[in-house]
């Protein structure tokens, strides 16, 4: 029997990383929000790696936090080991990565949802989304109907999920959950362009069955940094990870059994990511490579399950067991959960605006893996933006769009809605042309003012932020105005750092421009320095050293800004602009770019097409 179960402003389907940020942002902005999970025990699950962050993903976590999102704070609380990746490769690519206790992470997130005002967490499988005149009616498998103004779809890999382990295949979601099998039909009826993607995860093995004695150990950083700008106090590294390698025997087992892989037998039709491939993929594609690295990571403090990063597979369980045993340390490994591939339904994100609202269905939003991305952090980032926009739309506020030049989140969303993706989209530092500006250390400077304006940053945190920026500005001034004499003490330091000594007075600022010198190196000759948070020092050092690069990147942003100020009307029919090639007309009509700048990033739109658009725009403005 159908019944009306509630009336909401915003409804979020799915309580993974995207859904959580969406629901929290929406509720915190004061609109009545409901979030549905298919299983109350799967809220905020990490069905793949037990870690948050990593290259470029660490940037996303800091940005989410700077805007007032939850991921960073919770990761800090559930932290097992923290490392800053890419130290030595330069500040643009420094990325924080934390091993987390996945159960603890889930519990904290679920509890946060439960405690948040304006928010209801409900266990329900939504089977249909029906458009009404001023909103939607959602229906659960158990015939509950929810009336809502806005809907955010964040179904992850649950939507139409199908598991593959060798020749075994069945309907299913991640981590043995059941799949959402009904909703797809309803979304297709709404006209959403759905497609199939695939991803996978390695096996979890029993800790006591692993021989760590000959494996290289990987420790966390001391002291560990934290993701959240709000986290106070020191974090603690509680676990050690280990590194091992595959070998000739591993390769042989896989090549002997490759015909049993559903990927190579053609059973899987979904498109998988190139950069997170299964081991059999890596071996098939890079046949010359003799060995592949793997990391053995604990899943939590209260579990003996160990995650084998880099060893994802969809080979039959028997083959998995055989090839894992060829690896040093895993000779007697006991598989607790086998590796599997999962295929799922997702949408072509070019059907969305940069607010993550569907162009053709007002009030309907998408976020996370449903939008064709991959990764917890990418999902959370989109969830946050979709949640903010849905809530603002309810309140009649204007759209919230992050610039590509201002954040990785903006870059991620711009890539998705402009270029689309033929495989699950993963964030990488190389995707941002502004990466010396968009560093993880200055995420707060870039985004916290926006977070405060929106209403997701508390007054207390805002004051703390203002204080920090003030201290930083003051210290910068001091560095510029403090001149050191060419003493022997100073020159000894300079020579010991392999940089040339000075013959006359020099400012601290000019000294810090030298790549060889750190702020710390000058401590003995800079006696009046104030006590400052490490993050302020890090920011100052980077900004002084890379000043030339930073100003070049700013110039380029300025150039691009001029192109993005050339706005394209939303109601153009590009077929009517002569001179555009047919392919360009079709792509432009599909994407409906907001500006010439966005149009120039659409694949299939050539420079000549852009020239035509610019000329068309200027002749239109000229009243001709």
Partner 1 sequence: MRESTIAAISTPQGAGGIAVIRISGDKAIEVADRVFVSFSGKKLVDLEGYRALYGNIVFEDEILDECVALVFRAPKSFTGENVVELCCHGGNLVTKLVLRAVLSSGAEAAEAGEFTRRAFLNGKMNIAEAESIMNLISAQSKSALRAANNVRRGAVSKKIYALCERLEFTAAHLSAWADFPEEDIPEVNEENLRKTLTETLAELDFLMKNYDAGKAITQGVPTAILGKPNVGKSTLMNLLSGFDKSIVTDIPGTTRDVVEETVVLGEIILRLSDTAGIRDTDNVVEKIGVDRAKEKISESQLLLAVFDSSNELDDEDKKIIEEIGDTPAVAVINKSDLESKIDTAFIESHFEQVVYISAKLGSGKDELISAVTKATGSENFSASAVLLAGERQRAAAENARDCVSSAISALDMGFSLDAVTIDIENALYKLYELVGKNVSEEIVDKVFHTFCVGK
Least Cβ distance, residue 322 to partner 1 (angstroms) = 24
Q: Is 428 in the site for partner 1 (CB under 8 A)?
A: yes
Residues in the chain: 624
Q: Is 502 in the site for partner 1 (CB under 8 A)?
A: no
| Interface mask toward partner 1 for 246-285; x: CB under 8 A | -----------------------------x----------
What is the distance of C-alpha 486 from the center of its chain? Answer: 48
| Interface mask toward partner 1 for 528-557; x: CB under 8 A | -----------------xx-xx--xx--x-
CB atoms within 10 A of CB 582: 8
Q: Can you tell me the distance from the alpha carbon of 482 to that of 489, in angstroms, rounded to the nearest whole number?
A: 16
Q: Is 618 in the site for partner 1 (CB under 8 A)?
A: yes
Q: Can you tell me the distance from the alpha carbon of 616 to that of 608, in angstroms, rounded to the nearest whole number?
A: 12
Q: Can you tell me the distance from the alpha carbon of 376 to that of 223, in angstroms, rounded to the nearest whole number?
A: 25
| Residue number with CB closer to partner 1 (277 or 451) | 277
| Residue number with CB closer to partner 1 (67 or 610) | 610
Least Cβ distance, residue 609 to partner 1 (angstroms) = 8
Least Cβ distance, residue 427 to partner 1 (angstroms) = 9
Least Cβ distance, residue 105 to partner 1 (angstroms) = 21
Whether omega for the bond prior to residue 223 falls within 30 degrees of 0, making it cis, is yes
Q: Is 55 in the site for partner 1 (CB under 8 A)?
A: yes
Least Cβ distance, residue 131 to partner 1 (angstroms) = 38
DSSP 3-state helix, strand, coil percentages of the chain (rounded to 5)?
Answer: 40, 20, 40
| Residue number with CB closer to partner 1 (127 or 591) | 591
- Mind giving me the DSSP string for 172-239? --GGGPPPB-SHHHHHHHHT--EEEEEEEE--EEEGGGS--TTSEEEPPPSSPP-S-SS--S------
Q: Can you tell me the distance from the alpha carbon of 18 to that of 416, in angstroms, rounded to the nearest whole number?
A: 15
Least Cβ distance, residue 420 to partner 1 (angstroms) = 20
| Residue number with CB closer to partner 1 (123 or 606) | 606
Exactly one of 1, 115, 503, 578 binds partner 1 (CB under 8 A); which one? 578
| Residue number with CB closer to partner 1 (189 or 611) | 611
Exactly one of 22, 436, 457, 511 binds partner 1 (CB under 8 A); which one? 436
Least Cβ distance, residue 435 to partner 1 (angstroms) = 7
The residues facing 196 across adjacent strands are: 345
Exactly one of 274, 562, 567, 575 binds partner 1 (CB under 8 A); which one? 562
Exactly one of 477, 515, 523, 567 binds partner 1 (CB under 8 A); which one? 515
Q: Can you tell me the distance from the alpha carbon of 127 to that of 105, in angstroms, rounded to the nearest whole number?
A: 28
Question: Sign of torsion, CA 157 158 159 161?
Answer: positive
| Residue number with CB closer to partner 1 (203 or 610) | 610
Per CB under 8 A, which region of 31-39, 176-184, 524-532, 609-617 contacts partner 1?
609-617
Q: Is 569 in the site for partner 1 (CB under 8 A)?
A: no
Binding to partner 1 in span 305-364, by CB under 8 A: 309-310
Whether the CB-CB separation of 75 and 102 falls below 8 Å is answered with no
Question: Sign of torsion, CA 207 208 210 212?
Answer: positive
Binding to partner 1 in span 84-123, by CB under 8 A: 85-86, 88-93
| Residue number with CB closer to partner 1 (97 or 472) | 97
CA torsion, points 257, 263, 264, 269, in degrees to nearest 10?
160
Per CB under 8 A, which region of 392-400, 520-528, 532-540, 576-584 contacts partner 1?
576-584
Q: For tokens 């392999």, what's the residue?
A: 498
**406: exposed, middle or buried (Cβ count in 10 Å: 0-12, 13-18, 19+):** middle
Taking CA 533 as the corner, what is the angle to CA 530 and CA 535, rounded to the nearest 5 degrees?
A: 130
Exactly one of 21, 65, 139, 609 binds partner 1 (CB under 8 A); which one? 609
| Residue number with CB closer to partner 1 (83 or 150) | 83
Per CB under 8 A, which region of 188-196, 422-430, 459-467, 481-489 contacts partner 1?
422-430
Angle of helix 534-545 relative to helix 459-481, nearest 10 degrees, comes to 50
| Residue number with CB closer to partner 1 (176 or 548) | 548
CB atoms within 10 A of CB 554: 14
Q: Is 187 in the site for partner 1 (CB under 8 A)?
A: no
Least Cβ distance, residue 291 to partner 1 (angstroms) = 8
Least Cβ distance, residue 89 to partner 1 (angstroms) = 5
Q: Is 430 in the site for partner 1 (CB under 8 A)?
A: yes
Tokens of 370: 């449903």
Least Cβ distance, residue 562 to partner 1 (angstroms) = 6
Tokens of 316: 């039959």
Least Cβ distance, residue 35 to partner 1 (angstroms) = 33
Least Cβ distance, residue 297 to partner 1 (angstroms) = 11
| Residue number with CB closer to partner 1 (262 or 310) | 310
Q: Is 194 in the site for partner 1 (CB under 8 A)?
A: no
Number of residues located near partner 1, criterion CB under 8 A:
54
Least Cβ distance, residue 63 to partner 1 (angstroms) = 17
For the chain, the C-alpha Rg in angstroms (whole number) is 26
Least Cβ distance, residue 563 to partner 1 (angstroms) = 6
Q: Can you tell me the distance from the alpha carbon of 209 to that of 200, in angstroms, rounded to the nearest whole number?
A: 23
Whether the CB-CB separation of 66 and 443 falls below 8 Å is answered with yes
Q: Can you tell me the distance from the alpha carbon of 309 to that of 201, in angstroms, rounded to the nearest whole number?
A: 9
Which contiguous run of DSSP H or E holds residue 507? Answer: strand 506-507
Q: Is 516 in the site for partner 1 (CB under 8 A)?
A: yes
The residues facing 425 across adjacent strands are: 373
Q: Can you tell me the distance from the alpha carbon of 481 to that of 318, in angstroms, rounded to the nearest whole number?
A: 69
CA torsion, points 252, 253, 257, 260, in degrees to nearest 10?
-140
Least Cβ distance, residue 115 to partner 1 (angstroms) = 36
Longest dimension (CA), the chain: 89
Q: Is 581 in the site for partner 1 (CB under 8 A)?
A: yes
Q: Can you tell me the distance from the alpha carbon of 471 to that of 449, in angstroms, rounded to the nearest whole number?
A: 17
| Residue number with CB closer to partner 1 (127 or 437) | 437
Q: Rounded to whole angstroms, what are the CA distances from 371 to 18, 74, 115, 352, 542? A: 10, 24, 28, 9, 35
Least Cβ distance, residue 456 to partner 1 (angstroms) = 29
Q: Which residues bind partner 1 (CB under 8 A)?
A: 55-56, 85-86, 88-93, 275, 292-293, 295, 309-310, 428-430, 433, 435-436, 514-516, 545-546, 548-549, 552-553, 556, 559, 562-563, 566, 577-579, 581, 600, 606-612, 614-616, 618-619, 622
């Amino acid at each position: 029997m159908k019944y009306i179960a509630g009336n909401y402003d915003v409804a979020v389907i799915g309580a993974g990383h995207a859904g959580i940020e969406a629901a929290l942002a929406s509720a915190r902005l004061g609109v009545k929000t409901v979030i549905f999970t298919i299983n109350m025990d799967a809220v905020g699950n990490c069905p793949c790696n037990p870690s948050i962050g990593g290259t470029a993903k660490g940037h996303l976590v800091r940005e989410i936090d700077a805007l007032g999102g939850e991921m960073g704070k919770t990761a800090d609380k559930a932290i097992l080991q923290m490392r800053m990746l890419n130290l030595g490769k330069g500040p643009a690519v420094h990325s924080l990565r934390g091993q987390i206790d996945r159960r603890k992470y889930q519990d904290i997130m679920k509890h946060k949802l439960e405690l948040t005002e304006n928010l209801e967490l409900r266990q329900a499988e939504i089977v249909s989304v029906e458009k009404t005149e001023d909103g939607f009616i959602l229906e659960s498998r158990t015939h509950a109907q929810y009336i809502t103004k806005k809907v955010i779809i964040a179904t992850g890999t649950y939507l139409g999920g199908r598991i593959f382990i060798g020749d075994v295949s069945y309907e299913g979601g991640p981590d043995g959950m059941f799949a959402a099998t009904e909703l797809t039909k309803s979304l297709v009826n709404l006209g959403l362009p759905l497609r199939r993607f695939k991803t996978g995860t390695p096996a979890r093995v029993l800790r006591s069955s692993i021989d760590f004695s000959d494996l290289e150990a990987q420790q966390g950083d001391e002291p560990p940094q934290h993701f959240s700008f709000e986290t106070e106090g020191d974090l603690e590294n509680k676990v050690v990870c280990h590194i091992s390698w595959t070998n000739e025997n591993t390769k042989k087992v896989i090549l002997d059994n490759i015909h049993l892989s559903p990927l190579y037998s053609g059973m899987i039709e979904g498109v998988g990511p190139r950069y997170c491939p299964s081991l059999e993929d890596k071996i098939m594609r890079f046949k010359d490579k003799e060995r592949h690295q793997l990391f053995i990571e604990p899943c939590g403090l209260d579990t003996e399950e160990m995650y084998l990063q880099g060893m994802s597979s969809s080979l039959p369980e028997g083959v998995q067991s055989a090839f894992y045993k060829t690896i040093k340390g895993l000779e007697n490994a006991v598989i607790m959960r086998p590796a599997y591939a999962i295929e799922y339904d997702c949408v072509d994100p070019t059907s969305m605006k940069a607010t993550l609202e569907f162009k053709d269905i007002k009030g309907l939003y998408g976020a996370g893996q449903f939008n064709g991305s991959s990764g917890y952090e990418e999902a959370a980032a989109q969830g946050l933006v979709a949640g903010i926009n849905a809530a603002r739309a309810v309140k009649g506020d204007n759209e919230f769009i992050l610039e590509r030049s201002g954040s990785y989140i903006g870059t991620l969303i711009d890539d998705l809605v402009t270029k689309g993706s033929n495989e699950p989209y993963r964030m990488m530092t190389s995707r941002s042309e502004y990466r010396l500006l968009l560093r993880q250390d200055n995420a707060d400077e870039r985004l916290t003012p926006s977070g405060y304006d929106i209403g997701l940053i508390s007054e207390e945190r805002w004051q703390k932020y203002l204080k920090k920026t003030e201290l930083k500005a003051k210290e910068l001034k001091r560095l510029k105005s403090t001149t050191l004499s060419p003493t022997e003490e100073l020159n000894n330091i300079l020579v010991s750092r392999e940089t040339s000594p000075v013959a006359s007075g020099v400012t601290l600022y000019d000294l810090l421009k030298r790549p060889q010198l750190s702020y710390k190196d000058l401590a003995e000759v800079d006696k009046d320095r104030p006590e400052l948070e490490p993050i302020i020092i890090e920011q100052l050092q980077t900004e002084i050293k890379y000043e030339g690069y930073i100003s070049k990147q700013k110039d380029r942003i300025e150039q691009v800004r001029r192109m993005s100020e050339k706005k394209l009307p939303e109601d153009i029919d590009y077929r009517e602009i002569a001179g555009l090639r047919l392919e360009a007309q079709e792509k432009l009509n599909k994407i409906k770019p907001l500006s010439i700048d966005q149009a120039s990033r659409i694949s299939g739109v050539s420079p000549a097409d852009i020239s035509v658009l610019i000329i068309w725009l200027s002749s239109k403005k000229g009243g001709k």
